[in-house]
Structure 1
Amino acid sequence: MESSFHEQRHPITVALTSIQRSRKYSAYRSQRELEADAALIYEVQRTIGRFLFPIGRPALIDYRDFGGIPTRRRISVKFAFSYNKAVYLESHCHLRGADRSFKLNNIEWVGADFPHIVDKLDDYHTSLAACDFFIHPKKWGQYRKAALFLRQQALQSGASDKQAFEAVARFIFDCQQRGRWNEWATPQQAIGGALLAGSFDLPNWSRSDIDTMTGKASKMALMNALDALG
């Protein structure tokens, strides 16, 4: 996990400084608020793609939208990014006269001037996957209370923002490895959870609140993370 933090640190910094989000803490989030969390990660992914995978090429494509309707479009591709295990091309669509995100799997044909870029995206697949910080809102909900509590305790103990960020990400990854679906746990999902935790304003909790703040997370993992703060 250490290598993932070091490899992604600069793109994460770019993403966090470009997206100014702050929310009040709430013990229970509505579906609308959970969707807002997912939207935050989506914007982070786009920012990282803009930084790591610029393309800057025009293309002619046949694209089938989410409604299943095919259209031929001329697009100006800006960059590629990954979100929820899918690759997207952020582009200006000349048909719509606006920027759009085109899912690579929904592109059915590419003009002769562009296929080599698509082939190159296949080569990027591993790197794009390593930059995918998507964590499903329901999964994030399992760790939310404990992650916010840990972040607040870390900052109170004198940790820097970076140290608190890493403490939360390591805690979420520890929880994931203990969970039922541990074979799908990734450092990137843990980083996504830490990104979300960093977008909240934090009340003044004390260590005595730990039992109410654990939520559905592993209490042992939270205790270990708190002990590591010193």
Structure 2
Amino acid sequence: MSPRTATATPSTGATPGRTELSREAIVDRALTVMDAEGPDAITIRRIAQEFGVTPMALYWHVANKDELLAAMGDALLAGVRPPPATGPWHVQLRGVVDALITELSRHPAAADLAMPRMLQTEPGLRLAEFTLTLLEGAGFTRDQAADLARMGLQTALMLVTQLPGSESQAAMAEREALQAQKQAHLESLPADDYPHVRAAAEVLTNCDDEAAYYGFGVDLYIEGAQALLRRQRRSA
């Protein structure tokens, strides 16, 4: 079937009024639903309900759920731009990871969808080319550059999807209760056996300063890469 444009009425949980049914609108709504209800909510039938149409209407734009998930991953990467190619290599590398975190954190429940699409979509390929060029130019071998580029994406994904207290894989209405349950469990552990875990219960299950949390994680990645290059140069 060839794509066509239709007009649909969103469900009661969506924005009132008539919405143009297009591939872009479907992907955008699916990302919003996943953020609110978790990954299990993403089905063709569920997204069709958002537009007040039958599932068949969505098949004009996405062939199946797998294509929808791939398109959602592409959308997450669409806004990622390589940083300016100026300054020390490690500053530029930080810019790459920061750019990924900025975009992925817009839809944390869907962030894992970006990984398999990195080398399948134009924005991802541009970012990969920029990063590999940067790292090889800094003195890393091709294999090291590939590993570091991959770990940069993995670092961004881990920081976004494992943000303490976010519970992004659960429905939004359940997240606060889940976080409270986890904290209460840690605080109830035997004090003689787990004194440090009990004392850190709130920090382990909640994040009061997202900027500091992300910054610390990126610091570890960047400083590890710098240490690797220094050690390599000493060996040479």
Q: TM-score range by the shorter chain?
A: under 0.3
Higher strand share: 1
The structure number with the bigger radius of gyration is 2
Q: TM-score, normalised by structure 2?
A: 0.24
Say which structure, 1 or 2, has more relative contact order (CA 8 Å, 6+ apart): 1
Name the structure with the higher helix share.
2
Normalising to structure 1: TM-score of the pair? 0.24
